Amino acid sequence: MKRSKLETERRKWPRLPLAIPVFVGSTNGAGKQSLEFASVVNISAGGALVALSRSLPLSATVFLEIPSAPPASVASITANSRTIRAEAIRADRADNYHLIGFKFATPLSMDARLRTQKRRKVTSPK
């Protein structure tokens, strides 16, 4: 790998180029809440690049809600979505949309590990 590439790469996790539908929930300075349907362009354990129809200020805190269908066997007890708190750290304009780079408050891999540990403690026999 070239030396310049090693010096400029700052990502901790590889990005996956996936198109995922997502709801972006935010609150402006006046306390008005908004919810926008958007698309994830790429995602990693630490963040995501999202295409939005409107711009967001840098350091805006949002909730990314990824809709999902629960398995039929646990439909009554499983949440229908996954919500991730994130902060806007990059913003670019492209054609008729805004590309916003978000950093997750808790990396996805760490979040999954914590949920698994909690689940084991609750369900383990005594």
Residue 77 has pLDDT above 90, yes or no: no
Residue 110 has pLDDT above 60, yes or no: no
Measured torsion, CA atoms of residues 41, 6, 89, 20, in degrees rounded to the nearest 10: 20
pTM: 0.71
Given a contact cutoff of 8 angstroms between Cβ atoms, the answer to whether 107 and 46 are in contact is yes
CA distances from 100 to 14, 24, 48, 87 (A): 18, 11, 8, 10
Helical spans, DSSP H, in the chain = 3-8, 108-123
Domain count, the chain: 1
Higher pLDDT, 36 or 13: 36
Token pair listed for 81:
């979505």
Residue 114 has pLDDT above 80, yes or no: no
CATH number of residue 97's parent domain: 2.40.10.220
Within-domain flag for 57: yes
